[in-house]
Amino acid sequence: MVETLSNGTRNKNNGEIMGCSASKIDNAYRVLLLGIDGSGSTKLLFQLTFGQEVTTIPTIGFNVENIRYKSETFTVWDIGAVIFAVDSTDRDRFPEALAALMGLLEQPDLKGVPLIVLANKQDIEGAAKKDEVMLALQLIYMQNREWYIVETSAITRQGFAEFLDLLVAVCTNKGRK
């Protein structure tokens, strides 16, 4: 079970999560969660943090959450990568997701940083499986970067254990290829 180490603030009108704060934890791994709008990255972050589905609104700015899994702590920034969420049901936007991912990975500070792609929304019939997403994002052409892809659902939590185990392994260098 994921334990949250931060507090969410809720909109008094309808209970939607509006923003969250997190304090810095020593020895926490710092990771980025990124996806184009509609990819489900915020819903993934809050499902990991709160352990249940929450109603979200489009991210303005960013969300930061501290997540503890097993003996590791992760400070996750959802900036709206190391973790890149893709809406696996929206094939028409795969080229946009590819452009966003390539633009991000060109940043000098992210050179050589491992990449985990979350092929999200697997709970919806007809969602692209990880092989199709891998091809659409041209992951097979990435020669100088470790990359991984996991099928997930922010609604059902499908793939969360696999993703979190992989995140621990990558961040502690146990998952290095």
| 68: exposed, middle or buried (Cβ count in 10 Å: 0-12, 13-18, 19+) | middle
pLDDT score recorded for residue 12: 30
Where do runs of H (alpha helix) occur along 3-150? 41-50, 94-105, 130-136
Q: Is the pLDDT at 45 greater than 70, yes or no?
A: yes
pLDDT bracket for residue 82 (50, 70, 90): confident
Question: Model confidence over 1-11: pLDDT tens digits?
Answer: 333 333 333 22
What is the pLDDT at residue 26? Answer: 54
Banded pLDDT at 14 (limits 50, 70, 90) = very low
Rounded to whole angstroms, the Cα distance separating 32 from 140 reads 21
- Indicate whether this model's pTM tops 0.85: no
pLDDT in tens, 114-166: 899 999 999 999 999 999 999 999 999 998 888 999 999 999 999 999 999 99
- Domains, the chain, in order of start with CATH, read 3-171 (3.40.50.300)
